[in-house]
Amino acid sequence: MHLQPFEFLLHEKMGLDCQTLGSHVVLRFVQQRMAELEIDSSNDYLNLCHTNPDELKLLVSSATVQETWFFRDKGSLPALHAALLKLTASSFAPRILSFPCSTGEEPFSIVMGLDLLGFDISSLRVDAWDINPRAIDAANASLYGKNSFRGSDLGYRSRYFSEEENHFRLSSSIREKAHFRLANATELPAADFRSCFHAVFCRNLLIYLSPASQDRVLRNLLFMLHPEGILFVGSSETSIPLNYGLYPVPEKMSFGFKQSKAEVPKRKPLPIALRVTPLYEPVPPARAIPVPVRPAPLTTQEYLTRASQLANSGQFQEAETICRSLLAKGVNTPELWNLLGLTADARDRKEEAWKSYRKALYLDPSNYEALAQITSLAHVLGKATEALQFEKRLKKLKPEQL
């Protein structure tokens, strides 16, 4: 199975760096969806992803790791508790973001953990976002199996859960504190949440993103973070915030970072509209962010070269997928249309190939490859007059090759 077209789609839709994730993992995602749909051919499934936006969303959703459990990273809770106590005021309503939230174990652990530490959670709100609709549905159901409870310290389970046929239902007093919604890492609604969150949990996501996507996500998260708030990342991601001028908080094993090294004085927080300007402005989802110290994403020409190589090796479906993805992004070049003509021609879609070659020649009347291909196709289609005209044009360009 050729995974490159699927890796391209996952990168385009969710910013995933498939090289970091591993091709074997991508293969598992694809095979899982193919098995569920009873599709044997990877080309057929690739074509379905290309023609059916809902299926593409399901593939993207399946490419998320749902391995999580309650109180997976306890070290962040004391740091969060200490930070919230410093911000406490009469009108203070703490707001926290958990992204990605998976099936809800992390956001609910935040609520339970603060409650266990003695923090007043009456006005607490945890926004929990994830790209996977199935995960969001599971989080809203708040019914968990034994695998969500690990370790020996499970005293909280009897306090916050009720048992239902070998599962455990979370109490409504905790469940109502978390608010779930769908969100894509490449399309975060940052402009709607300026300086809104007093803590942002984004753990074990950044390491799986391409450099450009990672930069875009982190800048948007920092825009949404309160100037005195804390960003929590995964244990393997701690070097990333340092590159953005953030400082680690003193609590060990919390993996938390702040935008200021100085101690924050106690004060009543200002209304959101009047808060100080954040260090970062939101990044529009459609605009790539240059990362001067990191490898740049592939250029349009590099993608076209890759598509051409795939077509030359007989992988026409994969080549077409790349071309149509570029077309959807506004790319409109003779090379692109010529490749689309080749991929259609090779799979006996002659009229479609004819139209693609004509578009290539409209953009570049002297494109020799497109002229050669459409001349041959004209003979196949019985278009004698057009074939003669194209032959004359070919002779004017490179008569020695005829």
For 360-369, write each residue's pLDDT tens digit. 998 888 888 8
Backbone angles phi, psi at 143, to 5 degrees: -120, 120
> If you search the block for the tokens 């995960």, which residue do you land on?
135
**DSSP-assigned states of every residue in 263-329:** PPPP-PPPPGGGSPPPSS----TTSPPP-TTSPPPPPHHHHHHHHHHHHHTT-HHHHHHHHHHHHHT
Q: Which band of pLDDT confidence, cut at 50, 70 and 90, is reported for residue 252?
A: confident
Averaged over 324-335, what is the pLDDT? 85
Residues 321 and 356 in one domain: yes
CA distance to 26, 60, 383, 384, per residue, from 375 (Å): 41, 41, 9, 10
Most confidently modeled range among 157-166, 188-197, 228-237, 386-395: 157-166
Q: Is the pTM of this model over 0.85?
A: no
Q: Are residues 304 and 184 in the same domain?
A: no
Cα torsion angle, 327, 332, 338, 344, sign = positive
Please check whether residues 165 and 57 belong to one and the same domain.
Answer: no
Of the pLDDT bands very low, low, confident and very high (cuts 50, 70, 90), residue 179 is very high
Give the pLDDT of residue 21: 62
- Do the beta carbons of residue 93 and residue 144 sit within 8 Å? no
Report whether pLDDT(117) > 80: yes
The rounded distance, in Å, linking the Cα atoms of 368 and 147 is 62
Specify the pLDDT at position 354.
93
Per cent of the chain over pLDDT 90 is 33
Radius of gyration of the chain (CA): 27
| Whether residue 110 is found in the same domain as residue 226 | yes
Reading the block at residue 130, the tokens are: 């994830």
- The number of folded domains in the chain is 3
**CATH code for position 155:** 3.40.50.150
Give pLDDT tens digits for 47-98.
888 888 788 777 777 766 667 899 988 889 999 999 998 876 546 789 999 9
Query: Using CA atoms, how far apart are residues 181 and 101, in angstroms rounded to an integer?
Result: 10
Tell me if 254 sits within 8 A of 76, measured CB to CB. yes
> Is the pLDDT score of 257 beyond 50?
yes
CATH label of the domain that carries residue 367: 1.25.40.10
Q: Which residues of 334-361 are buried (b: 16+ CB within 10 A; e: fewer)?
A: bbbbbbbbbbbbeeeeeeebbebbebbb
HSE of 294, CA atoms in CB hemisphere, 13 A: 14
Whether residue 219 is contained in a domain is answered as yes
Q: Are residues 87 and 151 in the same domain?
A: yes
Same domain, 107 and 198: yes
- Helix axes 316-328 and 300-312, enclosed angle (nearest 10): 160
- C-beta of residue 81 within 8 angstroms of C-beta of residue 114: yes
Pick the range with the lowest mean pLDDT from 4-13, 102-111, 381-390: 4-13
Do 32 and 113 fall within a single domain?
no
pLDDT at 288: 43
Residues sharing a CB contact under 8 Å with residue 400, sequence separation 6 or more, in sequence order:
none
Instruction: Quote the pLDDT of residue 384.
Output: 87
Inform me whether the pLDDT recorded for 40 exceeds 90: no
Give the pLDDT score at 313.
Answer: 60
Structural domain harbouring 241? 76-274
Q: Encode pLDDT of 339-364 as tens digits.
A: 999 888 888 899 999 999 999 998 88
Position 302 scores a pLDDT of 80
Round to whole Å and give the CA distance between 381 and 387.
10
238, part of any domain: yes
pLDDT at 142 over 90: yes
Based on the fold, state whether residues 81 and 203 are members of the same structural domain. yes
Q: Do 101 and 231 share a domain, yes or no?
A: yes
At 179, the amino acid letter reads H
Domain identity same for 202 and 145 = yes
Give the end-to-end CA distance of the chain in Å, rounded to a whole number: 38
Percent of the chain topping pLDDT 70 = 85
